[in-house]
Structure 1
Amino acid sequence: MLDLDDFLPYRLNVLAKRVSRELARRYEAQFGISIPEWRVMAILGREQPLSSNDIVERSAMDKAKVSRAVTSLVEAGLLSRDTHPSDQRLLRLSFTPKGRALYERIAPLALEWQQRWLNCLDEGELAQFKVLSAKLEGQLEQLARDVL
């Protein structure tokens, strides 16, 4: 019989949802943005300009969720959409000055929250968690290739 308390995919999903819910509560209350909007901004904070498809690939969010988040961020004046210089069909997303300023306010708070959340782990446990997470992600990629 499947015991959900011992089924790792279930436990990881519950943990991820709880983390997202806690962060959403903070981001929505303080900054008026949702978790998908923050994920788009976090990805653009690392690399821009990007297309919506690039963000879908990097975030593992579905296309509709990314599209709604991008539309909301553009309407809020946080992102700009520009056409790609060599392909007019492609749109590239970048921060506006207002978007960059908001990102620079949120990013340190996100890192601070992460530090507070992870302070229950010692250095060795955190390092081991990162290694194990990377191994599990690599195995997922292998499993996906095996199906094809």
Structure 2
Amino acid sequence: MSSDGDGARTGDGAFRLDAYLPYRLSVASNAVSGLIARAYQDRFGLTVPQWRLICVLAEDGGLTQGQLVTRTMMDKVTVSRSAQGLLKRHLVGRSDHQADGRSHVLALTADGAGLHAEIAPLALAYESALIAGLAPDDVTLLKRLLARLQSAAGQLAGDADPPR
């Protein structure tokens, strides 16, 4: 790995995938998501996207699928499929949107809220285990840096030309 601040470039200027920050973020995310996905699937029959929808609906209350796409940063197809699975299991309910007759609002049912209350402590336990080797200040810094990277990615996504 490159030890300088130039990221994925070696001393001779060559590109190194293992030192490329977007790749490292993706690999770390996949490892964490895979670990948690197995637990949610094995114990509760949920996919990670379904769990995200349950969490967002528990935090924010009823939302449209468009709002869920925006809030979760998941694509429309993933949100739609996840919502359908949750509807079939009666973990969420769907009602007409008051202001937009073409849209529906999804909200947790009592069963969905109960499942959230059951899984949330497990999610927090996984988080605690994952960060156990980090100092509290490092965790705070990591969260702040991830937010900054997400913001920068959002700004770059609005820019038609890649950075030079």
TM-score normalized with structure 1 length: 0.95
1:31 to 44, 53, 64: 44
2:157 to 128, 137, 144: 144
Runs of 4+ off more than 4 Å: none
How far 1:60 sits from its partner (Å)? 1.2
Partner of 1:81, secondary structure, is strand
Q: Which runs of 5+ in 2 are unaligned?
A: 1-13
How many residues align structurally? 148
C-alpha deviations, 1:27-76, integer Å up to 9, x for none? 01110111111111111111011011111111111111110100000000
Aligned-pair identity in percent equals 36
Determine which structure has the larger helix proportion and give its number.
1
Quick check: 1:15 aligned with 2:32? no
CA distance in 2, matches of 1:134, 1:86: 33
How far 1:146 sits from its partner (Å)? 3.0
Structure 1 residue identity aligned to 2:156: L
Quick check: 1:6 aligned with 2:19? yes
CA distance in 2, matches of 1:57, 1:142: 15
C-alpha deviations, 1:96-121, integer Å up to 9, x for none? 11111001101111011101111110
Structure 1 segment 1-148 matched on structure 2, within 5 A: 1-147=14-160
The range that moved more, 138-147 or 61-70, is 138-147
RMSD, matched Cα: 1.3
CA distance in 1, matches of 2:99, 2:155: 35
Q: Which runs of 5+ in 1 are unaligned?
A: none
The range that moved more, 131-140 or 108-117, is 131-140
Partner of 1:147, secondary structure, is coil
How far 1:87 sits from its partner (Å)? 2.1
CA distance in 1, matches of 2:68, 2:76: 9
